[in-house]
Amino acid sequence: MSEYKTIKILSIAVSKYKDDLRDFFGQYPKEDIHFEIDDDNLVINLRQLDFPAFKNNAGLVRSNNGLNKVLDTIVENIENIKSYGLKGSKRLYVGYNKERKVKNRKGKEQKRGLYYYAQNHNFSEQNNILPENFVNKIITGNSAQVLKKFPDNSVDLIFTSPPYNFGLDYDNHEDGTDWNDYFDKLFSVFKECIRVLKYGGRIIVNVQPLFSDYIPIHHIISNFFMTEKLIWKGEIVWDKHNWNCKYTAWGSWKSPSNPYLKYTWEFLEIFSKGSLKKQGERENIDITADEFKKLVVAKWDIAPERKMKEYGHPAMFPENLASSAMKLFSYRGDIILDPFNGAGTTTAVAKKLGRNYVGIDISEKYNKKAKKRLSDVQKELTLLNKK
Ligand SMILES: C[S@@+](CC[C@H](N)C(=O)[O-])C[C@H]1O[C@@H](n2cnc3c(N)ncnc32)[C@H](O)[C@@H]1O
């Protein structure tokens, strides 16, 4: 394999721009990108590049000798390369796809069987329309009861973070009960979630196990969905880069007797109902190529929500987490449900991204916040439309 990806741009009479091009390319490490001139043809040798920055820089060059046209042609040629890897902000054009190949992969897959635990499900493929009175609404109540009023197969994506039984100070419910009781209540909501999810719809549950109780909540929840015959689409590690316990909580300090493990991340467990493929129109996709390449790597580095005090809620996730999940797993115009909507992060992000939403929370106080956030989003959108 060549060390560089080579682009040949033929007959654009580049010789007279040699010095200008040398200046322009001089901004980039030679081992990342450099050019050669061969007669009147331009040869670009490319290994890696922060392409959006390169395009921007090329756009900033002002000249009246035709250099802009040459730079535009270079940008266009690089932009047309659709296969690349990502490393930080740079696109990798060589050496990113040297994976070990398994021979007869499809045959072996068939022999093993795909998602054997979800075969023979009874999910109907007939999707239904969610009645208007639930669309773009914030509803107060226990989701296990509220969702009973929704038709089967009427929601595209459920994005949620349930209470974790950590003993947090929520507005009007106990967060620290016997584990069996906790899972009974949680699963009564999730059962309804599965029913209202469309065929091909996804449910994404953000969960942080209570490590100090030695209860792997993320495994127990995953096992529940698999027993209910949903397909485990995968797991994303949300790395918040903060410690979930004090530096001094070592368990047994400097001894193998019983060291305490520390975590800087939470999980997103993702499940599909009936099919891994989700129907949607091409024009309703809003994820860019770079966002897609970044987000399919299942470790997201996203800072935790810093404004919980301001919103008056003890356990929020950040908007960036919700928008990443929505762009990767839903289409514009889809219906997004959060049955534990809290201060309304999911519903505010859904509105910003042109999705429909329905948020349910047991607390009227949190729902007021959620509604206020939606009206703020509406104001922002109105301002943007005026510009
Ligand atoms: C972890 S918080 C969700 C926070 C939310 N993701 C945010 O960013 O604001 C869980 C929420 O579930 C709500 N809740 C607990 N049990 C509920 C139930 N049975 N039905 C509806 N909401 C419930 C709590 O009031 C709490 O706001």
Longest dimension (CA), the chain: 79
| Residue-level pLDDT at 243 | 63
Structure tokens at 263: 């975590």
Average pLDDT, the chain: 92
Of the pLDDT bands very low, low, confident and very high (cuts 50, 70, 90), residue 82 is confident
Smallest CA separation from ligand 1 atom 19, residue: 142
| Residue-level pLDDT at 247 | 61
Say if residues 32 and 5 touch (Cβ distance below 8 Å).
no
| Residue-level pLDDT at 182 | 94
Ligand 1 centre from 337 Cα, in Å? 12
Q: Kindly state the average pLDDT of the residues 131-156.
A: 98
Residue 140 pLDDT > 80, yes or no? yes
Ligand 1 centre from 81 Cα, in Å? 45
Q: Kindly state the average pLDDT of the residues 125-133.
A: 97
User: What are residue 274's phi and psi, to 5 degrees?
Assistant: 80, -45
| Residue-level pLDDT at 13 | 74
| Residue-level pLDDT at 251 | 86
Residue 162 pLDDT > 50, yes or no? yes
| Residue-level pLDDT at 246 | 57
| Residue-level pLDDT at 234 | 98
| Distance of alpha carbon 265 from alpha carbon 267, whole angstroms | 7
Say if residues 63 and 20 touch (Cβ distance below 8 Å).
yes
Of the pLDDT bands very low, low, confident and very high (cuts 50, 70, 90), residue 166 is confident
| Residue-level pLDDT at 132 | 97
Atom of ligand 1 nearest to the CA of 318: 8
Least reliable range by pLDDT among 36-50, 284-298, 367-381: 36-50
For a mutational test of ligand 1's pocket, the pick from 196, 361, 369, 373, i.e. the residue with the most ligand atoms closer than 8 A to its C-beta, is 361
Read off the pLDDT of residues 311-367 as tens digits, 9 standing for 90 and up: 999 999 999 999 999 999 999 999 999 999 999 999 999 999 999 999 999 999 999
| Residue-level pLDDT at 17 | 85
Amino acid at 131: P
Ligand 1 centre from 91 Cα, in Å? 39
Check residues 176 and 132 and name the one with the higher pLDDT. 132
| Residue-level pLDDT at 1 | 46
Residues near ligand 1 (Cβ within 6 A): 142-144, 161-163, 170, 173, 189, 313, 315-317, 339-340, 342-343, 345, 360-363, 366
- Look up the CATH number of domain 116-386: 3.40.50.150
| Residue-level pLDDT at 344 | 98
Smallest CA separation from ligand 1 atom 22, residue: 361
Ligand 1 centre from 173 Cα, in Å? 10
User: What are residue 369's phi and psi, to 5 degrees?
Assistant: -60, -45
Q: Under DSSP, is residue 322 helix (H, G, I), strand (E, B) or coil?
A: helix
Read off the pLDDT of residues 31-80 as tens digits, 9 standing for 90 and up: 999 999 887 788 999 999 999 999 999 999 888 778 888 899 999 999 99
Ligand 1 centre from 127 Cα, in Å? 27
Walk across the sheet containing 137-140 and list its strands. 137-140, 356-361, 335-338, 155-160, 197-207, 265-272, 231-239, 299-301
Residue 120 pLDDT > 60, yes or no? yes
| End-to-end C-alpha distance for the chain, whole angstroms | 50
Query: DSSP string covering 191-245, please?
Result: HHHHHHEEEEEEEEEEE--BGGGTB-HHHHHHHHHHHTT-EEEEEEEEE--S-SS
| Distance of alpha carbon 200 from alpha carbon 20, whole angstroms | 53
Ligand 1 centre from 97 Cα, in Å? 42
What is the share, in percent, of the chain residues with pLDDT greater than 70? 97
Please, where in the chain does CATH 3.40.50.150 lie? 116-386
Report pTM.
0.81
Read off the pLDDT of residues 215-269 as tens digits, 9 standing for 90 and up: 999 999 999 999 999 999 999 999 998 765 556 678 888 899 999 888 889 999 9
Of the pLDDT bands very low, low, confident and very high (cuts 50, 70, 90), residue 100 is low
Residues 6+ apart with CB under 8 A from 371: 138, 344
| Residue-level pLDDT at 99 | 67
